[in-house]
Each structure stands twice: as structure tokens, then as C-alpha cells.
Amino acid sequence: MGNRLAIRGAAVAAAVFLCLGGIPAPPALPGAPPALAAGPVSGVPASVPAAWTATVAVGPVSAGTVPEVGAATSTVRRPPASVRSLGVLVNKSRPLKPATYVPKLTTIKGTSFRLRPEAAAAYRKMAAAAGKDGIRFRVVSAYRSYARQKQLYAQYTRLYGKAYADRISARPGKSEHQTGLALDLGAASGRGQLAGSFAATREAKWLAKNAYKYGFILRYPKGKEKTTGYAYEPWHYRYVGKTISKAMKAQKLKTLEAYYFGP
């Protein structure tokens, strides 16, 4: 009897693993044309596989108050329902709700760009620490409104048609920049700005090594296009808070999707 129970338990555990973590990643997106490769607009993330919906709610994220997600030890976590949560997951399958959501914002000192106060304060600390190492950043983009994203998406649609625009640009209401928690960074010198070559700069290398200490993660890492649906963007950093950033670092998780749904 004991052996039969042990075998049955192992079978159930294997089934759960296949349902939650052992699922194939969505297809990769082709790269954008050279004219757009260095542009400020991210591509549209791939849809969340249907298998995820068995344990994780997939749908619009609302503006209700939900605390920041903690560093749970489970492989699969439930993404917060509130767009106000620092750990909010926004992509093509999880649009903002309301779509025209406007967060509380503050101007990043020394720039004309705005972020949520928590993200702006964390960025100031990170920039100050980088300065001590002789590193200076340039903020290239931060908060974008629904109206601005609508403008950008319409521009790409006119240039390339809707089908292709959907593969390279987030539709309004589905952009991480609208949360006020994402920013695009470059070198103060302008080298590699919004281009893959930024990864080779001292600034990018410093960020890759230290950003997590201040609550930031590289949102669209190299080789993870199948998971995020976005091309590699070594300049795009997202503030998630230290709880999540440090947990991702400790568990060697490369994407926010992996943090919630498992690698």
C-alpha cells in the first residue's frame, strides 16, 4: 500500500510540473528592420500559453490596491492584479486596466522624464552609486502616456501595416512604459543609444551587474525573445522593487515571466 501511494504521489507531482513549468515557450518574433532596430518602441510580447491559465489568472490588470509580490519559494506565483503593484506584469496578454491608466508621477532630477516616485527614487540612488564608479547614464525614455503610445503605434501602422506593427510595437494600454516603472537608459556620451551595441558599453555592463541591488531588472534579456516576445533590449530596465529583483538574482531567473510562471 505504501509503495502504491508513493508511486501515485510521484505521478501527480510530474503532472503538475508538466502543467506549470514544463510547457513550451511561445514562438520567437522575427527581428525588426534596421530602421526600427534602435527605436524606442518595444515589440509586442508573445501571448501567454493556454496551459498557464490553469493556475494563473491571465487578463487585464486593475488599479485596485495590491501589495508588492514577495519572494515566494514556489516556482509558480500569481501575478498581482493591481496595476499599482511594483510587480505588475504587463504584456500583450495582460493589458492595463483601465487602459488609460495614469500613475502618480514625478520628474527625474536633471531630466524632463517622469517615473513613479518609487522608481525615480531608486534610479537616483542607482545613478549616484554608478557615479562613484565613474559611470554616468542618460535617460532616453521613461513614462509614456496612453495617447503617446497610440501615436507611436499609429505611426508604425502607417509605415508597415497593422500586421507588422503588432509585432514590433505595443498597442496603447499594453505598454510597460505606461506604468511609470520602466525606463530606457543610455551612456551619457550617447554611445550605443537604443541599439544593441549599448551592451558593450561600460554603462550597460555596470547595469547588468548592479541594477538588481536597486530594484531594477533588465526586462528583455538576450536569448529570451520566446519568453518575453520582445527583441533583446540592453537599455530597457524595469523597476520591480528589491524583493523581486533580489529573488530573481538569487534564483537566476532572467525574465519577469519566469519569476511568475517558472523558467
Contact 219, 253 (CB under 8 A): no
pLDDT tens digits, residue range 104-117? 999 999 999 999 99
pLDDT at 187: 96
Domain boundaries, the chain: 2-261
User: Would strands 137-141 and 114-115 be described as parallel, antiparallel, or unpaired?
Assistant: unpaired
225 catalytic residue (yes or no): no
Query: Does 55 have pLDDT greater than 70?
Result: no
Interior CA angle at 64 toward 63 and 69, to 5°? 95
Residue 62 CA to its chain's centroid (Å): 17
pLDDT at 170: 83
The H-assigned helical ranges of 21-116 are 34-37
In angstroms, rounded to a whole number, what is the distance separating the alpha carbons of residues 24 and 86? Answer: 27
CA nearest to 184, candidates 209, 219, 229, 148: 219
pLDDT tens digits, residue range 78-92? 999 999 999 999 988
pLDDT at 66: 36
The pTM of this model reads 0.72
With pLDDT > 70 as the criterion, what percentage of the chain qualifies? Answer: 71
CA dihedral angle for residue 252, residue 258, residue 259, residue 261, rounded to 10 degrees: -140
Kindly name the residue from 68, 203, 233, 257 that is annotated as catalytic: 233
pLDDT at 216: 98
In angstroms, rounded to a whole number, what is the distance separating the alpha carbons of residues 182 and 240? Answer: 9
Lowest mean pLDDT segment, chosen from 40-44, 114-118, 154-158, 222-226: 40-44
- CATH class of the 2-261 domain in this structure: alpha beta
Query: Does 209 have pLDDT greater than 70?
Result: yes
With pLDDT > 90 as the criterion, what percentage of the chain qualifies? Answer: 58
